[in-house]
Amino acid sequence: MSRRTYTSFASALIGSLLALNCTTDPGSDDGGEGGASASGGASGAGPSIGGSFGVNVGGLGGDLFGGAGGTAGTSGGAADVAGCGDGIVQVGEACDDGNNDASDGCAADCSALEADFACPTPGETCVSTVQCGDGHITGAELCDDANHVDGDGCSADCATVEPGWTCLTPGLRCQAAGCGDGIVAGFEECDFGADIPGCTSCRVDAGYDCSALGSGCDLTVCGNGVVERGEQCEDDDDVPFDGCFECRREPTCVNGVCQSVCGDGQRFEDEGCDDGNTRNGDGCSSDCTPELRHACTPEAGAPPATIVLPIIYRYHRRG
């Protein structure tokens, strides 16, 4: 290859390197002198280019034309992270919220996003990803039952597990910590710290009604004008076919077709369940719909030995 060809190649290569326009932490500019050529000619002095990309070129003249190459320039510097806090995400930064404070979502050196934060817009305040009521325990939350309601075991702000409760699985209903602690929680119907007449194993016995304030249990009385536990209605009389008989709702039937009555213990086609009451929280809601994570299976009991049917005789006296 001719000397002119080598000279053109060297000029083009050096021109391309100079066009890189490296701006951060440039290396030394001066390459070493090329060594003497084999033929006795002087070696060329070649520039070396430093910079953030670490591109270094020694003296090219001597190498290209037979002489020893010059010494390479110094290595380029590391990426600039001194701009952390300027609100601009630069190379080496994971975020930049415009300050150098820690515990605000973006690390003080802008190297990482902090737990439970998102920093969507550089230069602006990072936002917390903790959301009480989403069914996930994050940040300082102690519970999260997927709502913002007090009195169900997990406080409305997800900061407290309420006394007498335990919240085992995020997103699900909290449960009673234990029967016998004197606190009615979860599916408990009563809790006096021990079994008493009317309350056994935190369940109200048939024919009893227990005070929600924990003062005790009393026998229910049909016909006293007060709808008590286990009663569906009260109409102050013993007349059948008027909608309420013996404190039980009567079905409304027209031409042999009866309408469903939620809470009467009889499940019709338009009811998802009917457990004989209109209480929520026991698997079948007050509108006879199966509650979350519950399944209600119809049970066919043995027929009673006798069935008592009320009969009303009507007659007209002729004058």
Residues 2, 72: one domain?
Answer: yes
- Residues facing residue 154 across a β-bridge: 161
Residues 103, 161: one domain?
Answer: no
The Cα–Cα gap between 15 and 9 comes to 10
The Cα–Cα gap between 206 and 124 comes to 63
Domain boundary among the residues 57, 78, 99 is at 78
Residues 64, 125: one domain?
Answer: no
Q: 52 by DSSP, 3-state: which?
A: coil
- Does residue 38 fall inside a structural domain? yes
Q: What is the pLDDT of residue 319?
A: 61
With cut-offs at 50, 70 and 90, classify the pLDDT of residue 120. very high
Degrees, nearest 5: CA angle 145-201-150: 25
Quick: pLDDT tens for 29-86: 444 443 433 333 344 444 433 333 333 444 444 443 444 444 444 444 444 556 899 9
Residues 87, 17: one domain?
Answer: no
- Does residue 182 fall inside a structural domain? no
Please state, in angstroms and as integers, the Cα–Cα distance from residue 257 to each residue in 250, 251, 260, 268, 269, following that order: 13, 10, 10, 11, 12
The first and second tokens of residue 96, run together, are 């930049």
Residues 58, 13: one domain?
Answer: yes
Q: What is the pLDDT of residue 65?
A: 42
Q: Supply the pTM of this predicted model.
A: 0.52
Quick: pLDDT tens for 230-260: 888 888 788 888 888 888 888 778 887 888 8
Q: What is the pLDDT of residue 212?
A: 62
Element (H, E) at 166: strand 165-166
Domain boundary among the residues 121, 147, 177 is at 177
Considering the chain, what percentage of its residues have pLDDT values greater than 90?
37
Quick: pLDDT tens for 124-165: 999 988 999 999 999 889 999 999 999 999 999 999 999 999
Q: What integer best gives the mean pLDDT of the chain?
A: 76
Say yes or no to pLDDT of 106 above 80: yes
Higher-pLDDT residue of 251 and 3 is 251
Q: What is the pLDDT of residue 107?
A: 94
Closest CA to 17 of 78, 67, 70, 60: 60
Residues 167, 157: one domain?
Answer: yes
Tally of domains in the chain? 4
- Does residue 115 fall inside a structural domain? yes
- Does residue 310 fall inside a structural domain? no
Domain boundary among the residues 177, 207, 241 is at 177
The Cα–Cα gap between 277 and 317 comes to 43
Residues 72, 113: one domain?
Answer: no
- Does residue 104 fall inside a structural domain? yes
Q: 225 by DSSP, 3-state: which?
A: coil
Residues 14, 68: one domain?
Answer: yes
- Does residue 105 fall inside a structural domain? yes
- 146-153's contacts with Cβ under 8 Å and 24+ in sequence apart are 146/171, 146/172, 153/185, 153/186
Residues 151, 120: one domain?
Answer: no
Residues 10, 21: one domain?
Answer: yes
64 phi and psi, to 5 degrees?
Answer: -70, -30
Q: What is the pLDDT of residue 187?
A: 86
Q: What is the pLDDT of residue 296?
A: 83
- Does residue 233 fall inside a structural domain? no
Contacts of 137 (CB under 8 A, 6+ apart): 143, 144, 158, 170
Q: What burial letters (b/e) apply to 46-55, b meaning 16+ CB within 10 Å? A: bbbbbbbeeb
What domain range is 105 assigned to?
A: 80-129
The Cα–Cα gap between 261 and 271 comes to 9
